[in-house]
Chains A and B, each alone.
Chain A
Amino acid sequence: MSYFTVKYLFFFLPAVILVYGIMPKKIKPLVLLVASYLFFFWISKKLIFFLILSSLSIYFSSLGMRRIDRITKEKVEGMEKEEKKRIKQKGKKKKQILLLLTILFNFSFLFYFKYLNFFASIGNALFDIFHADFSIRLVKHLAPIGISFYTLQAISYVVDVYHEKIEAESNLFKMLLYLSFFPTIMEGPIASYPEVKDSLYEGTRLSYHNLCFGLQRIIFGLFKKCIIADRLNIFVKLTFDHILQYSGITLAFGAIFYTILLYMEFSGTMDVVIGSAEIFGIKLPENFRQPFFSKNISEFWSRWHITLGNWLKNYVFYPVSFSQPVKKISSFFKKKFNHRVSALVMGAIALFAVWSLNGLWHGAGWQFVFFGYYHFTLLMLGNIFEPWISLGCEKFSIHRKANWYHALQIGKTCLLVFIGELFFRANTLSDGFLMLQRIFTHFDLQQFQTEFFHLGLDGKDYLILLIALGVVFLISFLKERGVSIREKISLKTISLRWIIYYALIMSVILFGAYGPGYEPVEPIYADF
């Protein structure tokens, strides 16, 4: 069941709203917990066992850490400074062991379900090379839904408790709900505990405002998914599955359309997710901030899948940057060169770790690994050449804040993103290279003209796409300028407000890509 199914939108969600609405305030969070477990069980059946195990592991481990902290504090009271330091160090060691075990325990499930086959096939390839008469049997299995998302939330929680950034939660039900909340379980956003804890357990009463704002957001998500993403799906599928059949221009459109499809599908899902939570008065972190207005790749990643980027920054980038070995390396470079070179080296090591994990997180395949290192390379090149670009602009009196310069930067960033997403979507890494090569070597305008209207889309489809993309662009553009369309609409008269909502609903019903000739996009991020 995806968030875009009739089952979810017309049965599950309304049923939860109804039960939530009639229950007393204290019971409301419990309703959400029961609904979340039902939702999970509906999709993953007995694999719910692994979600429970993860929740219990972080619950007990965080309580264990709290206990160690308490005992240590009691012990050091009135002690001399040196003795205090020694006892604190001892307590820290115990906590470290507990933290490490919890992280390993949680990652072991993720590894088993997601990466075992990938690494086993690498092992088998190596055995083949060395003619070893041995091979690891590959096992086909389904993973618990959202394991890549809830595992990261679980890790963020224990690490934050370890650093005493947050208090360990003593209420088990709260912990169970934090990891399983049904709107976020399939595709995130990866919310840190402090981001959601207040609103998640508040049991906020249903209100007309929250209901309207939540539904508004859900309908906008449907608009992006059903009108744009689903319409582009056939074109994308055909081009990526039959690379040799199409002209270079068609393949380039395939890559651009895939990037649009991915954005509309994922950000559309986030609209449904955040809108669903909003109905219950729960505020979730945003995952997108107009990414296609980014001036460079670094900015792009601070606007696209924001919660994953934040997770990697907080739990990989900084810890790796300031780990003892990296600090030693950076101080060597600082002595030999200067602080910029030292920061570049420090950043390179940490970014390498971040992008290795980012690539693999998206899937166990070489195309994802390549995708990660592609962006790592772009970020490093950006960091290395920034001083020269700045110097060049100064020399040629180029005003870097000029609109035309921004437009060029945005164009360059989009182009680099399209290439990255081409590899991301390619069936295999070699397919990705083949497609990129043919974009440049098979430039056949005549073939393109005949193909373009025979890839599942006709003139009417392109017109609908153009208008729908125009609407999304306009809303994004205004948001970029600090104008919130939602707030603006809410200030209009009730009749005008409902005309807008009605138009949006009707456009989804009338222009959504349903029926023969179309194929809805499967939830892409739910597979990661």
Chain B
Amino acid sequence: MEKLVEILEELQPEVDYETCDNLVDGRYLDSLTILSLVSEIEDTFDVQIPTVEIIPSNFNSAKKIWELIERLQEEE
């Protein structure tokens, strides 16, 4: 989780990832940042994020993103 927050902070530093729960809906993460984020996650955590998983509900908070990573790691 710490590593994920590090990635997020590098891509978009102006957000408090502990509390923010509308990263996509609140437009804190635009589509370009999401592209970078997905690539970084795939490289760092060695998972493949299927495009159907790139939906606001999976990316609206750091916690949700982490849950997605854990789920994908389990499925692999």
Q: Nearest Cβ in chain A — how far from B8, in angstroms?
A: 12
- Determine whether the beta carbon of B33 is less than 8 Å from that of A343: yes
Given A160-B52, A339-B40, decide whether A317 and B11 contact each other with a Cβ distance below 8 A: no
- B19 is an interface residue with CB less than 8 A from chain A: no
A527 and B33 alpha carbons, distance in the complex (Å): 36
- A347 is an interface residue with CB less than 8 A from chain B: yes
- B1 is an interface residue with CB less than 8 A from chain A: no
Residues in B whose Cβ lies below 8 Å from that of A339 = 11, 36, 39-40
Q: Which A residues, 282 to 340, have Cβ-Cβ distances below 8 Å to chain B?
A: 298-299, 313-314, 317-319, 321-322, 327, 330-331, 334, 339-340
- Determine whether the beta carbon of B51 is less than 8 Å from that of A343: no
Given A322-B38, A330-B39, decide whether A347 and B32 contact each other with a Cβ distance below 8 A: yes
- Determine whether the beta carbon of B36 is less than 8 Å from that of A318: no
- 30 A-B pairs within 8 Å (CB atoms) are namely A163-B50, A165-B52, A298-B31, A299-B27, A313-B31, A314-B51, A314-B52, A317-B31, A318-B51, A318-B54, A319-B51, A321-B35, A322-B49, A330-B35, A331-B39, A334-B39, A339-B36, A339-B40, A340-B32, A342-B36, A343-B32, A343-B33, A343-B35, A343-B36, A344-B32, A346-B35, A346-B39, A347-B32, A347-B35, A350-B35
Residues in A whose Cβ lies below 8 Å from that of B11 = 339
Residues in A whose Cβ lies below 8 Å from that of B51 = 163, 314, 318-319, 322
Residues in A whose Cβ lies below 8 Å from that of B39 = 327, 330-331, 334, 339, 342-343, 346
- B16 is an interface residue with CB less than 8 A from chain A: no
- B46 is an interface residue with CB less than 8 A from chain A: no
Q: Nearest Cβ in chain B — how far from A316, in angstroms?
A: 10
Q: Nearest Cβ in chain A — how far from B37, in angstroms?
A: 9
- A383 is an interface residue with CB less than 8 A from chain B: yes
Q: Nearest Cβ in chain B — how far from A354, in angstroms?
A: 10
Max chain B Cβ within 10 angstroms of own Cβ: one of A160, A318, A319: A318
Residues in B whose Cβ lies below 8 Å from that of A313 = 31
Residues in A whose Cβ lies below 8 Å from that of B38 = 322
- B30 is an interface residue with CB less than 8 A from chain A: yes
Residues in A whose Cβ lies below 8 Å from that of B32 = 340, 343-344, 347, 383
Residues in B whose Cβ lies below 8 Å from that of A165 = 52
List the 5 closest A-B pairs by CB distance, nearest first.
A318-B51, A343-B36, A163-B52, A343-B35, A339-B36
A172 and B50 alpha carbons, distance in the complex (Å): 29
- Determine whether the beta carbon of A298 is less than 8 Å from that of B30: yes
Q: Nearest Cβ in chain B — how far from A399, in angstroms?
A: 14
Q: Nearest Cβ in chain A — how far from B30, in angstroms?
A: 7
Residues in B whose Cβ lies below 8 Å from that of A298 = 30-31
A339 and B39 alpha carbons, distance in the complex (Å): 9
A321 and B30 alpha carbons, distance in the complex (Å): 14
A340 and B11 alpha carbons, distance in the complex (Å): 8
Q: Nearest Cβ in chain A — how far from B49, in angstroms?
A: 8
- Determine whether the beta carbon of B31 is less than 8 Å from that of A347: yes
A32 and B31 alpha carbons, distance in the complex (Å): 38
Residues in B whose Cβ lies below 8 Å from that of A318 = 51, 54
Chain A residue at minimum C-beta to C-beta distance from B30 = A298
Q: A330-B39, A350-B35 are in contact. List 13 more A-B contacts (CB 8 A).
A: A298-B30, A313-B31, A322-B38, A322-B51, A330-B35, A334-B39, A339-B11, A339-B36, A339-B39, A340-B32, A342-B36, A344-B32, A347-B35
Residues in A whose Cβ lies below 8 Å from that of B36 = 339-340, 342-343
A327 and B27 alpha carbons, distance in the complex (Å): 24
A322 and B48 alpha carbons, distance in the complex (Å): 10
Residues in A whose Cβ lies below 8 Å from that of B52 = 160, 163, 165, 314
A321 and B38 alpha carbons, distance in the complex (Å): 10
Q: Nearest Cβ in chain A — how far from B26, in angstroms?
A: 12
Q: Mark A343-382, 1 if CB is under 8 A from B, else 0.
A: 1101100100000000000000000000000000000000
Chain B residue at minimum C-beta to C-beta distance from A327 = B39
Q: Which B residues, 22 to 67, have Cβ-Cβ distances below 8 Å to chain A?
A: 27, 30-33, 35-36, 38-40, 49-52, 54-55
Q: Nearest Cβ in chain A — how far from B74, in angstroms?
A: 14
A331 and B40 alpha carbons, distance in the complex (Å): 10
A350 and B33 alpha carbons, distance in the complex (Å): 14
A344 and B39 alpha carbons, distance in the complex (Å): 13
Chain A residue at minimum C-beta to C-beta distance from B36 = A343
Residues in B whose Cβ lies below 8 Å from that of A343 = 32-33, 35-36, 39
A319 and B49 alpha carbons, distance in the complex (Å): 11
A296 and B49 alpha carbons, distance in the complex (Å): 29
A340 and B33 alpha carbons, distance in the complex (Å): 8
